[in-house]
Amino acid sequence: MAAPLKHSDPITVEVALGDRAYDIIIGRDVLGSLGARIAALRPGVRTAIVTDRTVARHWLEPTQASLAAAGIPTSHVVVDEGEGSKTYAGLEKVSEALIAAKIERNDLVIALGGGVVGDLAGFAAAILRRGVDFVQVPTSLLAQVDSSVGGKTGINSPQGKNLLGAFHQPVLVIADTSALDTLSPRQFRSGYAEVAKYGVLGDEAFFAWLETNHSGIFSGSAAREHAVATSCRAKAAIVSRDERETGERALLNLGHTFGHALEAATGFSDRLFHGEGVAIGTVLAAEFSAQLGMISQADAARVERHLSSVGLPTRLQDIAGFTQEGLADADALLALMAQDKKVKRGKLTFILLEAVGRAVIANDVEPTLVRDFLKAKLTKS
């Protein structure tokens, strides 16, 4: 697998969902085309932008300028950064702002930001007037390769991650890779966990390519667009076959059953970014698979080695404040996993590995095996 040596024209990835199909436009500086693309898609539309304070400083004005150049009226609402906005209060703020802006069913909501903004704005659009279409303009690596694609929207409950939400597909995704230049190193690494996930779960050749070429993704070479496009194609293919996660789409949750529990245990705070939870969760899933005899210890070590090599946390002990209540307690973590959306009639479902590049859905995993596994990991120095 080889990436282009130079930045090229924008890459288009289609999410094939029949009459609800949409395009993902990937490339440097494609944000400038947003207004023209929306005007062609929805002549005469009005828009409202939902963003957060940090993203607004960098990208609100260029977004507004692109819309204005196409003659598209817009308003905006700005929320605080982080998972703290994915709450009942955050949803109320955004929903009331959209109503005040007189956004109607034939208008568009624009989610300008990372995964939090996309989830929150998308959910608000899904319930506003019983459904308003929206456009995703993801500005983080995690959002560009994962959360902006596939129509999952929602907010958190104090009892768990993303427990309130709706499937609501965007009508367009604009992934401007130059926006990633403004991310902190920690934010970029967090998003990279989701890139690596696609290789681990279904594409060993891509994972091997990442092992060799990840530095170009971080430095901003053409490898970045290649990685984003490859990840989007992988997700789009699965979503087109299983939009509402009745089967195969659950594979995309590799690392998330463990990861979401860790996010909940840390209070959805900056102690653990989502991608960091996914990184630790992916390593735990690989190691649990090895313990069950599904893969070799060498394969599990390969996954851990690569994620660690880019600076991601890979052990429970890597989490800030590890000894605080809820992290060093296997039973407490298991209780949080029991709130996972993939739980069916109280039975735990995990995404495990048969090989690097081949994930499987494991239903009815015995809780005592998970508890013993976690206890061993919690006591390991």
Q: Which of 28, 42, 93, 152 is catalytic?
A: 152
Q: Which of 168, 253, 276, 315 is catalytic?
A: 253
Report the candidate in 110, 120, 121, 31 with the shortest Cα–Cα distance to residue 74.
Answer: 110
Looking up tokens 């009815």 gives 364
DSSP state of 18: G
Q: How far apart are CA 55 and CA 113, in angstroms?
A: 6
Active site residue 213: no
Q: Which of 42, 168, 235, 377 is catalytic?
A: 235
Active site residue 263: no
Active site residue 260: yes
Residues 336 and 317: beta-carbon distance below 8 Å: no
DSSP state of 184: -
Between the alpha carbon of residue 195 and those of residues 24, 216, 301, 379, the distances in Å are: 16, 13, 18, 30
Question: How many of the other CB atoms lie within 10 Å of CB of 130?
Answer: 7
Active site residue 256: yes
Active site residue 189: no
Q: Which of 86, 214, 226, 256 is catalytic?
A: 256
Active site residue 253: yes
Q: How far apart are CA 6 and CA 250, in angstroms?
A: 35
Active site residue 156: no
- Sequence letter at residue 110: I
Q: Which of 161, 197, 224, 249 is catalytic?
A: 249
DSSP state of 10: P
DSSP state of 28: T
Q: Which of 224, 233, 274, 342 is catalytic?
A: 274
Q: How far apart are CA 106 and CA 103, in angstroms?
A: 8
Q: Which of 233, 260, 315, 377 is catalytic?
A: 260
Q: Which of 245, 276, 287, 304 is catalytic?
A: 245
Active site residue 225: no
Instruction: List residues with catalytic annotation.
Output: 130, 152, 194, 235, 245, 249, 253, 256, 260, 274
